[in-house]
Amino acid sequence: MPHNEESFNKLRVVVTILLGPDGCAWDRKQTHRSLLPYLIEEAYEVVEAIENEDFQHLQEELGDLLCQIVFHAQMAENSGKFNLDDSINDITQKLINRHPHVFGEKKDLKPNEVRDQWEKIKIESGEKDSVISGIPKSAPALVKAFRFGEKAGGVGFDWQDPQEVMQKVKEEVQEIEDELSANNRVHLEEEIGDLLFVTASLARKLDINPEQALNKTLAKFTKRFGYIEMKVKESGRKFDDFTIDELEAWWQEAKE
C-alpha cells in the first residue's frame, strides 16, 4: 500500500478530471506516442537528480515521472484497454514471483545471486524467449551493452573476473591498431564496437555503471573545455589563432 493512499488517489482523481469531457483540451488531445518525449525527459531528470544527490529535486522529479505513468494508465482506461490497478497488480505479482527467496523458501542470497536468479526465472517461466530480450531497442547503446552482458552473465555466460575482461580489452585495442595499419574502415567500425562492448563489460564486472561513468567524464570535459573557451574569448582572438600546445596548456590549468 502507498505510504499515503489519499495523496495517490488524489493524483488519480486530478488526472481523471483533466482527461475527462470537462477537462483540459491539451491533455485530452494527447496520445501515448505524443507523450513519449515527456516520459523520457522526466526519467532522465530523475537520473540527474540521483546523480547529483539532490533529494529535493528528486522528490519533485519522482512526482513528475509518476504523473506521466498515471496519465498513460488513465488514457488506457479511457480507451478500454487496461487501468492503473491492472499495472499495479502485474508488477506486484511479478515482484513476488521473482523473489522466491523472500516470499517462498527463505534463502540468504547475495545481490549478484538474486540478479542471476531473476534472469533464470524470466526464461524458465516463459516470460522471455531469449535471455537477452526485453531491453528496449531505443535505449542508448552503452546501456544495452551493459544489460546484454548482465543478462548473459545471469545464466553463466560471462568472464570470471575483471582481469579476464581487461585482457580482452587489450586484445580489442590491438585489433584496432591492426586495422588502423591496414586502413580498413569497415573492420575499424566493427572493432571499435567490440572495444566499447567489452569496456561496458569491464565496468559491469567492477560494479561501475558505464553510462554514469561516461556522463561524469562528459561533465568534466564540458567544464575544462569551457575554461579554454573563456580564455580564448578573453584574448579577443579565435581558436584558429592558437596552437594545440597553447590550448593544451589551458586544459592543464583547468585540471588544476
Residue 137's pLDDT band, with cuts at 50, 70 and 90, is confident
State pLDDT tens for residues 218-246.
Answer: 999 999 999 999 999 999 999 999 999 99
Contact 230, 240 (CB under 8 A): no
Mean pLDDT of 56-72: 97
State pLDDT tens for residues 74-105.
Answer: 999 999 999 999 999 999 999 999 899 999 98
What stretch of H or E contains 223?
helix 210-235
Please tell me if the domain spanning 5-97 has the same topology as the one spanning 113-209: yes
Q: Domain extents for the chain?
A: 5-97, 113-209, 212-255
Count CB neighbours of 177 within 10 A: 11
Q: What pLDDT score does 139 carry?
A: 85
Distance CA 184, CA 223 (A): 35
Question: Is residue 73 pLDDT above 90, yes or no?
Answer: yes
CATH code for the domain defined by 5-97: 1.10.287.1080
Distance CA 117, CA 102 (A): 12
Count CB neighbours of 224 within 10 A: 15
Map residue 164 onto helix, strand or coil.
helix
Contact 188, 180 (CB under 8 A): yes
pTM: 0.65
| CA nearest to 229, candidates 256, 243, 247, 253 | 247
CATH code for the domain defined by 113-209: 1.10.287.1080
Residue 205's pLDDT band, with cuts at 50, 70 and 90, is very high
Question: Is residue 2 pLDDT above 50, yes or no?
Answer: no
